[in-house]
Amino acid sequence: MNYIHEITTYLNTEIPLQYQESYDNCGLLVGSPDFELKNVLVTLDVTEDVINEAFMNECNLIVAHHPIIFKGLKSITGKNNFERAIIRAIKNDIAIFAIHTNLDNISGGVNFKIAEKLALTNIKILAPKFDSLKKLTVFIPIEKAEEFTKTLHNAGAGNIGNYQECSFTSDGMGTFRPNEKSNPAIGQRNKLEHVRETKIEVILPSHAEKNILTAMQKAHPYEEVAYYLSKLDNQNQNLGSGAIGELPNEMRTEYFLDKIKAVFRAKTIRHTKQIKATVKRIAICGGAGSFLLKNAMAQNADIFISSDFKYHEFFDADDKIMVADIGHYESEQYTKDLLQEIISEKFPNIAVLLSKANTNPVFYT
Ligand SMILES: [Zn+2]
């Protein structure tokens, strides 16, 4: 028997809510975490059609990219499609979980999925975030250092880009004098002690600080753990907006536009002037991405694939980069597949269905 909180807790651990943008509203929005779980339905948007689909397929958890409750509701009377969807979900004990900009902002998230669909290599975050990393320095008797470092890694410390279990250790001499009230693991009260210790330094994401410090305190033999935490100004390679990667070989620009159309089933692409005969460096932002155009230019991308560009924003390309607006729904459609993969990998015995409802409100004629 599984419960809804098993899935939601897992998703919140792997793709933390702390990674969402300040305006966002991710997490469990409708329903109880204590519902017994039947099947899961993954979707880009939640509409009445999607709730009906969930009901027909005995799915009582919908995992959606776009939050159905976004700006706050003052009443729920069924006056529009979203309110009717919420009412229907509540009546039928269907829970709705949103995983939006936190899934956009991680390496391996929405934009990496788009890059994978275009068969790009060397994929990185386009605009990495600052202020999200800390360094932990902790001292421990030498003989305990190796196992202790593993504990820190298991708790989520030591990830840099594509490298895991990163740490730096150096050995030296630690001193301490336990006082009257102490209960020292090594040494005696009121006597200066010298102990051969290892200094361990690891990087950690701020959101995991509590977990890591709890694991550290638990695994450390000393009554008082000597450690310090420092804030880092480093970019976080695993966190940020958009993605950039390269085609294995240069491709003629018009062929690449055809490829985008085919991969994203886009009827039309709104784009700026073609300035290069071929493209190789490809910048991406699923959904509305005009805020990243300057980053794509700074990283010498040949083309920036995104959506929701306004007329005046196309001018900002300034003949230096090609902007290709492929449509919001089109750009994010594979997020469903990504969510299915993430959930199924951890819970292989739970049926995770891809919503078949086309929720795109935009039609092309
Ligand atoms: Zn979106």
The rounded distance, in Å, linking the Cα atoms of 289 and 276 is 22
Cα(348) to ligand 1 centroid in Å equals 27
Cα(65) to ligand 1 centroid in Å equals 7
Q: What is the pTM for the complete model shown?
A: 0.87
Cα(151) to ligand 1 centroid in Å equals 37
Identify the pLDDT of residue 131.
86
Nearest to residue 84, comparing CAs of 45, 49, 60, 42? Answer: 49
Which residues are 125's β-sheet partners?
243
Mean pLDDT, residues 201-206 taken together: 95
Please state, rounded to an integer, the average pLDDT across all residues of the chain. Answer: 96
Confidence of residue 237 (pLDDT cuts 50, 70, 90): confident
Identify the pLDDT of residue 214.
97
Cα(362) to ligand 1 centroid in Å equals 13
Cα(209) to ligand 1 centroid in Å equals 30
Cα(67) to ligand 1 centroid in Å equals 10
Burial of 69 per CB tally in 10 Å (0-12, 13-18, 19+):
middle
Cα(24) to ligand 1 centroid in Å equals 11
Q: What is the pLDDT of residues 307-342, one digit of tens each?
A: 999 999 999 999 999 999 999 999 999 999 999 999
DSSP letter at 180 equals T
Cα(116) to ligand 1 centroid in Å equals 18
Q: At what angle do helices 4-14 and 335-346 cross, to 10 degrees?
A: 110
Confidence of residue 1 (pLDDT cuts 50, 70, 90): confident
Cα(329) to ligand 1 centroid in Å equals 7
Q: Strand pairing of 27-30 and 95-98?
A: antiparallel
Cα(54) to ligand 1 centroid in Å equals 21
Cβ atoms of 120 and 245 closer than 8 Å? yes
Cα(258) to ligand 1 centroid in Å equals 23
